[in-house]
């Protein structure tokens, strides 16, 4: 594999959870990393950790669903770190509810952040990848793409990202760009803690109930997803594109 030193990665939603773990992993792999989140100040912990480990990093605040903010953010990354050739579309939110209780705003917010955000970020970054004749895009989907009670909006967004991934893989492959998707199963994050609170269940019990259904008999952690991202963005994965990898501890988890 080629040394990634000098290459620049953008990770969205990187202030915490899967995004933060991914940013740290890519920095450890040798990438300069732009830690992008809605509020730049929330990325401080992630940035400090990367700096302490000797990495190059930049915190960037942007709403990924806003075209103007996305263009400005990518331009800033290119100016301060270098042209980005790796993009991890991880930014996400949940607004869970049963269909008859779900509001227009619940639907629009989730679709805008996940799908519109991935579209805007990919469109803005791909020009740098095309110019370099090399690029990697990784979109974070979810096992919820297969359907999950109370998540019509989230499931639709995550399923949409899989179709988006396969289409970009077809369009961009000729430019040396691969596009893949990772669909995590149950991962212990702030987002899943919020889900436990929403359904009124104790966190430890919530985790135990899900682990009981996972063949490898443990919950996932953000580093599990970061490891898969590390593979997809490597030179060694250059013949892997348009794929959806379920990182869920088993085939039905």
The closest alpha carbon to 187, from 136, 228, 150, belongs to 228
**pLDDT value of residue 1:** 46
Domain ranges of the chain: 8-247
**Structural fold of domain 8-247:** Rossmann fold (3.40.50)
* CA separation for the pair 185, 124 (Å, rounded): 29
The answer to whether residue 154 is catalytic is yes
The helices-and-strands tally (H runs, E runs) of the chain is: 9, 7
**pLDDT value of residue 195:** 86
Please tell me the pTM assigned to this model: 0.96
User: Rounded to 10 degrees, what is the CA torsion of 199, 205, 211, 213?
Assistant: -60
* CA separation for the pair 116, 172 (Å, rounded): 18
* CA separation for the pair 147, 44 (Å, rounded): 35
Mean pLDDT by 10 residues, the chain (253 residues): 79 98 98 98 97 98 98 98 98 96 98 98 98 98 96 98 98 98 96 87 95 96 98 98 98 71
Helix locations, the chain, DSSP H: 17-29, 44-52, 67-80, 104-111, 117-132, 152-172, 190-198, 203-211, 222-232
**CA-based end-to-end distance of the chain:** 32
* CA separation for the pair 56, 143 (Å, rounded): 33
Catalytic residue selected from 154, 164, 186, 206: 154
Q: Which tokens in the block code for residue 41?
A: 């100040």
* CA separation for the pair 248, 245 (Å, rounded): 9
Q: Which tokens in the block code for residue 231?
A: 């593979």
Tell me the sheet residues that pair with 12.
Answer: 36
Backbone CA torsion sign across 24, 72, 161, 242: negative
* CA separation for the pair 206, 197 (Å, rounded): 9
111 close to 153: Cβ distance less than 8 angstroms = yes
């Amino acid at each position: 594999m080629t040394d990634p030193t000098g290459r620049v990665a953008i990770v969205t939603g990187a202030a915490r959870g899967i995004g933060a773990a991914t940013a740290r992993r890519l920095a450890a792999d040798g990438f300069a990393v732009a830690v992008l989140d809605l509020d730049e100040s929330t990325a401080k912990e992630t940035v400090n950790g990367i700096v302490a480990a000797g990495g190059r990093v930049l915190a960037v605040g942007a709403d990924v669903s806003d075209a103007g903010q996305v263009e400005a953010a990518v331009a800033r990354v290119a100016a301060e770190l270098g042209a980005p050739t790796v993009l991890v579309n991880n930014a996400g939110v949940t607004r869970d509810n049963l269909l008859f209780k779900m509001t227009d705003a619940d639907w629009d917010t989730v679709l805008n952040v996940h799908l519109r955000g991935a579209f805007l970020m990919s469109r803005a970054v791909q020009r740098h990848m095309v110019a370099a004749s090399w690029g990697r895009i990784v979109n974070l989907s979810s096992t919820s793409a297969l359907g999950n009670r109370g998540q019509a909006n989230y499931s639709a967004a995550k399923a949409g990202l899989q179709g988006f991934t396969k289409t970009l893989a077809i369009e961009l492959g000729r430019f040396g760009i691969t596009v893949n998707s990772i669909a995590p199963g149950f991962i212990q994050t702030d987002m899943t803690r919020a889900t436990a609170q929403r359904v009124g269940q104790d966190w430890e019990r919530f985790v135990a109930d899900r682990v009981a259904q996972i063949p490898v008999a443990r919950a996932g952690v953000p580093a599990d997803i970061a490891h898969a991202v590390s593979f997809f963005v490597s030179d060694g994965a250059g013949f892997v594109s348009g794929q959806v990898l379920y990182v869920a501890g088993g085939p039905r988890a």
